[in-house]
Structure 1
Amino acid sequence: MDEAYGQSKSLRVWLEGHDRAHVVATRCNDYVVTTSMGRARVDELIASLPRRAWSRISAGPGAHGPREYRGARVPIRIFWRPGRGHWLTARRNMSTGELAYCVCYGPRKTRLMDLARIAGPRWAVEECFQQAKGQAGLDEYQVRDWRAWYAHVTLSMAAYAWLVVARTLTSPEQTAAVTT
């Protein structure tokens, strides 16, 4: 089953059990436990927020300039560990209206802008995987078990890392720095 990291309840439980703060993406149709001891779909919970709950946030610099969004968060979960909190966040693209959701856990005083900043670098990781698919065959596997898949992914990512380093060392800027 293909699921976003945030939908993996076992991953979230493990992270919280080890008191690891996290901001993980989840799908609009995921369910979360609310503070009133109920369950709600992520998109419906966010849709119920008043307009004033949304504020302008920055997810940091992107490939095409600053990534500005409208963001909101709502507390989730019934019981919180002392000094910790659980939230569902939503980020709305200001030009397309597209929504992205994250399930978050961390220090109780964490602000929405902090959660957005933490979630922001995700695009660089996704871009790395896209490049590894095209340049190192990351998506060219036909395996039948987990160990074979793991070996393929590990070798593909090692090959991609080597290509990136080799490209960096042969760039004109690097050559100029070495010769001066």
Structure 2
Amino acid sequence: MRRGEWRPRAEQPPPATDAPAWIGGALPEGWFTGPAEITIDRDEITIVGRLSEPTLADDASDGDRAAAEQGRIAGFRETTRDQRIGIAQQLERRYQRKVAWGVRVGETRELFTTFSAPVMTRLRQAERQVLDTLVDSGVARSRSEALAWCVALVGQHTESWLAELRQAMTQVEELRKQGPTV
């Protein structure tokens, strides 16, 4: 293809606007202490549920608490594996996205197998030098890992702004739906 020539876009997966409702209906009663936190993008659906906290003595140390939370997570992961796989397979067929699971217990949040999507980007020299510095210093093993680290850091420090932006995007989408059809 020559420069400026039209190229078809990669096929987008079907909309997943009803996925939270579908997931809420598919999840077995009693798995989580409340509704699951569901995050959807064009590549993956992530389902994170809150588990009840383990009962510990009042004088339990932070180490004991962390160990108990890890034990609760490991138990949930093992006992629900087959059902989670079945639900994930149905979701993947319906919405054409990978599915990841995770849980939250107390202050511990753990994601099980998640999908890493390749992302193509073009960086100028100054930007590549940032990545190379992270690699050369041992913060990251590769440019790819350094870029993921940078994205995570930006997301961590701008989460409230990103949340507002996502909300605004949702409002724009709702206004588009209300507009005239062509």
TM-score interval, smaller chain: under 0.3
Task: Choose between structure 1 and 2: higher strand proportion.
Answer: 1
